[in-house]
Structure 1
Amino acid sequence: MPREPRRHRQSLRRRPLTFSPFARAMAMATLSKKARREIIQEPKLQAKDFPTSSGNGFPNHGKDETEQSHSSDSEQFEGVVQADFAFFDPKPSDFHGVKVLLQTYLDNKHWDISGFVDLILGQPTVGTVVKIENDEDDGVYSVVSALNLGRYKNSKCITELKDYLLKLCQDMNVIDKLKSLLAEQAHDVGLMVSQRVVNLPPQLLPPLYDALFDEVEWATEDEPTEELRSSFRFKFYLIISKIYKHKNADQIKGTTKSGDEALIFPKPEDEIFLELSSWSFSFPLHSQQVTTNELRNYRLMGLVMAVEASKVPIFRKQLHSLIDE
């Protein structure tokens, strides 16, 4: 049955979203000379004030580029704005919005991204899109899903994604493990796809991931065939994301006197995933990165992680603790 939209009302105001340790530089980078916001208790946001997938205000969403301003640089955002965010099953009409969110998912690679979006939208029982309720533009602000690499092994987009990862992995301690997950173990691997606009309220993250993992569990019991039920019994999750890595990251332990950290996580959950991962590797990206004083010593990097599905309960608990603190 179609899922009833679940409302998540959030408040936003003039200062960056900052919660330890990921957001300081990223928030300043994406909100410099614009409306600066922080989450407060009682929101008041009109849909037109948010970037949408059909408007110029929508960020070129790889987390590595400055979002385009939805007000001029000279304007100052005043007051409080309100929005009712709701979770929905993916549907075909979400194609454009989801594709915009995923446009730098594999850096600047030319690949079958349309086919990839079709896979996500063709799996409505496991996956969520976040929208503003009753928004005329029907803009998509986040997409979360998990695709079985074995089930979709013959899809062009999955073949291209696998080849992309294998060519980029230069870590000899990881390459054989990666090959195994992408080949003989592929049926046990869920490719976790999680992309969103940079200023999505962080309070949405715990229920968003809770929804994903709950749906995966339900699918192992509720899908109509054993083949489909089996395809959601993941043993591993493969995650492709982005980080900012300090140029002297290998020498940094903790935080430097200047306040620099070895890694900055544009998405706070990635720090938890990395800590829980069985293995990971990073690689340079070519897509344009934010250039600010705060990030002058950092380079935008791709990050690939493998996380055992058995670690999901730990992840969920730690994510709630991080966002609620």
Structure 2
Amino acid sequence: MASKKKRVEDVAKDDEMSDQSDAEDMEEDTEMEIKEEIQVDFEARVPEGSDFHGIRTLLQQLFLKANINLSEMADIIISQGQVGSVVKQSYVPEEDEDDEEMAEDDPVLAVTSVINITDKKDMECVKQVRSMLIDQCQKCGGDPRFSKVLNDGGHHVGLLVSERYINIPPQLAVPMFESLLKEVEKCKNKKMKYDFAYYILVCKTYRQKGQKNSPLFYTNAEEEYLQEVSETSFQYSVQAERDTVVDGSWDAEDQFEAFRTVLLISADKLKQGVDKIKTELATT
């Protein structure tokens, strides 16, 4: 996947010094503004072993205190090789810098991948994810189609993993998802086990505390457009689990309750959702 670059330029003009005609009482009124050019290059590439801790941290940001073996899940994402990508900030190496040392120090800013939770149903982390989704759906009286889809071994279900830090722009999700769709299609053509009938996506969401019918907001803004093409969804509260991971600045105000919204998306609708993200974010 080609790296994506984002440049932010904020260049201010220096004001000229004002001179006073009276030499004895001359004052220099100098108002200086800092000239600054900030360039941030985002590089997307295949996950590697050195990305393990960064990927695991992002998974914990999503799943919080859920009983899921996140280390095993991170290993799966790294081991797949042909599917998925991570985003890092790219640097121009200095002459005396070691590339391997830079890779270890460079944090993972975002990860996008998909895990076949039908084919890998016997792995510990997948068992835990499947159990958690079914239990949470039943507790909140969610659509029984979730349990039906997860328990039907006649088709493959992919767990979409799309997580990033909150200060990473949502526009980055477009090339990440587009790349993932292309990679899945290539694997399908090779008869690999990526021929999904459904995708499941767990989203970070929140709403005003104590107001059950208040609007639901998506921390990752692009996921709202995926909700529009989903077959069904349900929410469960994670407010009690949020003492170890902070999702955003609104947390400090203590006015919102944190949720996880789970989307069930038919495979033939995912591209439609990604196209909608691309259109909507291009106008913002």
Asked if TM exceeds 0.5, the reply is yes
Task: Identify unmatched segments of 5+ residues in structure 1.
Answer: 15-39, 41-76, 253-261
Deviations 1:231-253 (A, max 9, x none): 2111111011110123465545x
Asked whether 1:237 is paired with 2:192, we answer no
Quote the Cα distance in structure 2 between the aligned partners of 1:181 and 1:78: 56
- Judge conservation of contact 1:237–1:307 (CA < 8 Å) in 2: yes
Residues 148 and 186 in structure 1, CA contact (< 8 A), matched pair in contact too: no
Structure 1 match to 2:141: 172
CA distance in 1 between counterparts of 2:266 and 2:210 reads 30
Cα distance, 1:293 vs structure 2: 8.9
Kindly indicate whether residue 57 of structure 2 is the aligned counterpart of residue 100 of structure 1. Answer: yes
Highest relative contact order (Cα 8 Å, sep 6+), 1 or 2? 1
Q: Is the 8 A contact 1:148 1:232 kept in 2?
A: yes
Same amino acid, percent of matched pairs = 26
Q: Deviations over 1:183-230 (max 9, x none)?
A: 2147421100011111113332211110011111111113xxx3x2xx
Matches within 5 A, 1:126-141: 126-134=83-91, 136=102, 137-141=105-109
- For residues 293 and 115 of structure 1, do their structure 2 counterparts lie closer, same or farther at Cα, with a shift above 3 Å needed? closer
When normalised by structure 1's length, the TM-score is: 0.69
Q: Secondary structure at the match of 1:146?
A: strand
Match of 1:150 among 118, 121, 125: 118
Change in Cα spacing, 1:281 to 1:91, as seen in structure 2 (3 Å) is same
Identify which of 101, 104, 115 aligns with 2:72: 115
CA distance in 2, matches of 1:138, 1:188: 35
Q: Using the TM superposition, name which of 101-110 and 279-288 deviates more.
A: 101-110
SS in 2 for 1:235: strand
Deviation at 1:108, TM superposition (A): 1.2
Q: How many angstroms apart in 2 are the aligned matches of 1:113 and 1:293?
A: 24
In proportion to residue count, which structure has more strand? 2
C-alpha change, 1:13 and 1:281, in structure 2 (3 Å) is farther
Q: Deviations over 1:159-179 (max 9, x none)?
A: 1111122222224351x3121
Q: How far off is 1:134 after superposition?
A: 3.6
Aligned to 1:80: 37
Superposed displacement of residue 275, structure 1: 1.3
Alignment-mate amino acid for residue 287 of structure 1: R
The alignment partner of 1:313 has SS state of: helix
Aligned residue in 1 for 2:227: 274
Distance in 1 (CA, whole Å) between partners of 2:179 and 2:161 is 14
- Aligned partner letter, 1:309: A
1:293, 1:157 → 2: CA distance? Answer: 28
Q: Which amino acid aligns with 2:141?
A: M
In 2, Cα distance between the equivalents of 1:78 and 1:185?
Answer: 60
- Name the residue aligned to 2:82: 125
State the Cα deviation string for residues 109-137 of structure 1 (Å, max 9, x = none): 24311111111111111101111224722
Counterpart of 1:287 in structure 2 is 242
Q: How many residues align?
A: 244
Residues 153/88 of structure 1: CA separation in 2 closer, same or farther (3 Å cut): same
CA distance in 1, matches of 2:3, 2:129: 34
In structure 2, what is the Cα distance between the partners aligned to 1:306 and 1:215? Answer: 21
Partner-residue secondary structure (3-state), 1:6: coil
